[in-house]
């Protein structure tokens, strides 16, 4: 049986409307600043630029090279035309074969589900690592919508309804990818640098093959496999440690007032987070903005830096909007990566652990907060301010306080 879907390139007849990004061999994320109409030319250009990973936009735009963030001041500088119905089936087992075995079962469920909906498959592809991608043609009707923003919102709402129905039927997919109109996904016929395997489109009939046989037929290149740099490996280890250790902060740790700020991380492990932002100056307009949120917050000064901290729970997109209004230096990282890491100096010139001077500049306590408060972060708020407030939910810590010995 032939594994490869040979007609995949004709699927991208609308390639000129796709936003293309790639990662170079040094790990830098770059965008293609020109349109491509021929799939083969795009692949040749990526090879010429010595790509490590390559991606394309699920949505189509009139000027994809000028695509802007939804949170930027002019988000609709480019015109939204429509978007594919895209599903990412991911598993992270001990081996790629296991990922394929589980992924095949979910892809078959999606195909069965699509028959009743009369969806037209664009392609099915092995992602090169954790599972499969399955792409359908756009299912939204934009005939009565002339505004690009309205079309984009319509596409998102349609996909949210589909996701809810699929979840009820027990189909496992990465939900956030399907509903994200600005999502970029791995480009077929390019290699996955994490494993060295190609993201390869396959025929539906190939899903009946054993996982070992499917993997054997996937093109592999050891030269395409990019090892993580020491910095990336260190950051990965740090995130794992933070998630494991800090998620279980005990009251004994938070019980002492003699605490110094060691490291602060905003994680993207959950959809919701407490608010912590670096600000350049605590002016009256920023003070009024924060008060208008009707949440408890404290403004603290750590050496020469100012930070706003609140145990109130926000979505990541909301934090990005607040950071933009506060003109926070964190906005660029939050907007691009949906998280940011804020290092606070904890080593002196002799690489010895050093205490960081802490000063509370302002505290605000509304009578009835408009947001749910995170229980763990409420303890931290009490530690900072001496004021006890209640918390209802727990999330992974995104603000880390460690006690250090002299």
From residue 174, how far is each of 180, 267, 328 by CA, in Å? 11, 18, 31
Average pLDDT, stretch 345-358? Answer: 50
pLDDT of residue 345: 44
- Asked whether residue 59 carries a pLDDT value surpassing 90, the answer given is yes
pLDDT of residue 67: 77
- Minimum mean pLDDT among 45-59, 91-105, 106-120: which range? 91-105
From residue 406, how far is each of 37, 254, 302, 353, 402 by CA, in Å? 63, 18, 18, 8, 13
Cβ proximity of 87 and 123 under 8 Å? no
Distance CA 143, CA 148 (A): 12
Banded pLDDT at 342 (limits 50, 70, 90): low
pLDDT of residue 276: 83
pLDDT tens-digit map of 121-178: 999 999 999 899 999 999 999 988 878 889 999 999 999 999 999 999 999 898 899 9
- Minimum mean pLDDT among 38-47, 272-281, 396-405: which range? 396-405
In the chain, CATH 3.90.920.10 sits at 8-224
pLDDT of residue 154: 93
262/198: higher pLDDT: 198
- For residue 59, the SS3 value is strand
Banded pLDDT at 246 (limits 50, 70, 90): very low
Cβ proximity of 396 and 377 under 8 Å? no
- Asked whether residue 95 carries a pLDDT value surpassing 90, the answer given is no
pLDDT of residue 398: 44
Banded pLDDT at 332 (limits 50, 70, 90): confident
Cβ proximity of 343 and 265 under 8 Å? no
Cβ proximity of 214 and 223 under 8 Å? no
Look over the chain and give the mean of its residue pLDDT values, rounded to a whole number.
79
Residues of the chain with pLDDT > 70: what percent? Answer: 74
- Asked whether residue 192 carries a pLDDT value surpassing 60, the answer given is yes
- Could you list the beta-strand ranges (E) of 272-364: 272-279, 297-302, 305-315, 340-342, 358-364
Tokens, residue 390: 């209640």
pLDDT tens-digit map of 261-314: 333 444 434 556 778 888 888 899 999 999 999 999 989 887 677 888 888 888
- Minimum mean pLDDT among 54-58, 345-349, 366-370: which range? 345-349
* Region at 161 (left for phi over 0; alpha for psi -120 to 50; beta for the rest): alpha
Chosen CATH of 8-224 out of 3.90.920.10, 3.50.50.60, 3.40.250.10, 3.30.70.660: 3.90.920.10
- For residue 161, the SS3 value is helix
pLDDT of residue 6: 58
pLDDT of residue 241: 58
- Asked whether residue 9 carries a pLDDT value surpassing 80, the answer given is no
Residue 126 CB neighbours (<10 A): 29
pLDDT of residue 113: 94
pLDDT of residue 274: 77
**104 backbone dihedrals φ, ψ, rounded to 5°:** -60, -40
- Asked whether residue 239 carries a pLDDT value surpassing 70, the answer given is no
Average pLDDT, stretch 177-199? Answer: 93
- Minimum mean pLDDT among 167-176, 235-244, 381-390: which range? 235-244
- Asked whether residue 338 carries a pLDDT value surpassing 50, the answer given is yes
Residues of the chain with pLDDT > 90: what percent? Answer: 37
Distance CA 344, CA 51 (A): 34
pLDDT of residue 230: 55
- Asked whether residue 92 carries a pLDDT value surpassing 80, the answer given is yes
- The pTM for the full model equals 0.60
């Amino acid at each position: 049986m032939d594994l490869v879907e040979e007609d995949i390139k004709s699927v991208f007849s609308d390639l000129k409307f796709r936003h293309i990004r790639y990662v170079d061999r040094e790990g830098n994320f770059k965008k293609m600043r020109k349109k491509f109409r021929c799939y083969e030319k795009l692949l040749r250009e990526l090879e010429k630029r010595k790509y490590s990973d390559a991606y394309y936009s699920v949505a189509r735009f009139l000027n994809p090279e000028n695509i802007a963030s939804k949170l930027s001041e002019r988000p609709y500088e480019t015109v939204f035309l429509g978007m594919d119905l895209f599903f990412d089936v991911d598993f992270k087992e001990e081996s790629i074969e296991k990922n394929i075995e589980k992924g095949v079962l979910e892809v078959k469920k999606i195909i069965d589900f699509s028959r009743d909906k009369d969806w037209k498959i664009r392609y099915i592809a092995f992602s090169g690592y954790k599972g499969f991608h399955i792409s359908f043609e756009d299912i939204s009707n934009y005939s009565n919508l002339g505004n690009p923003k309205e079309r984009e919102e319509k596409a998102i709402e349609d996909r949210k309804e589909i996701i809810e129905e699929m979840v009820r039927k027990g189909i496992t997919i990465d939900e956030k990818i399907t509903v994200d109109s600005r999502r970029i996904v791995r480009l077929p016929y390019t290699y996955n640098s994490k494993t060295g395997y190609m993201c390869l489109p396959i025929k539906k009939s190939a899903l009946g093959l054993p996982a070992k046989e499917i993997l054997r037929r996937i093109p592999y290149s050891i030269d395409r496999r990019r090892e993580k740099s020491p910095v990336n490996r260190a950051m990965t280890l740090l995130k794992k440690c933070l998630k494991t250790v800090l998620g279980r902060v005990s009251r004994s740790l938070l019980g002492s007032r003699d605490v110094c700020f060691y490291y602060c991380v905003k994680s993207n492990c959950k959809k919701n987070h407490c608010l912590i932002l670096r600000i350049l100056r605590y002016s009256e307009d920023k003070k009024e903005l924060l008060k208008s949120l009707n949440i408890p917050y404290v403004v603290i000064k750590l050496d020469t830096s100012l930070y706003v901290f609140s145990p109130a729970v926000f979505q990541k997109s909301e934090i990005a909007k607040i950071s933009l209004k506060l003109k926070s230096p964190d906005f660029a990282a939050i907007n691009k990566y949906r998280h940011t890491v804020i290092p606070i100096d904890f080593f002196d010139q002799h690489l010895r652990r050093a205490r960081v001077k802490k000063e509370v500049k302002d505290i605000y306590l509304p009578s009835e907060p408009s947001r749910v408060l995170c229980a763990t972060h409420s303890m931290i708020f009490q530690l900072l301010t001496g004021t006890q407030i209640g918390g209802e939910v727990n999330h992974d810590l995104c603000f880390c306080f460690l006690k250090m010995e002299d």
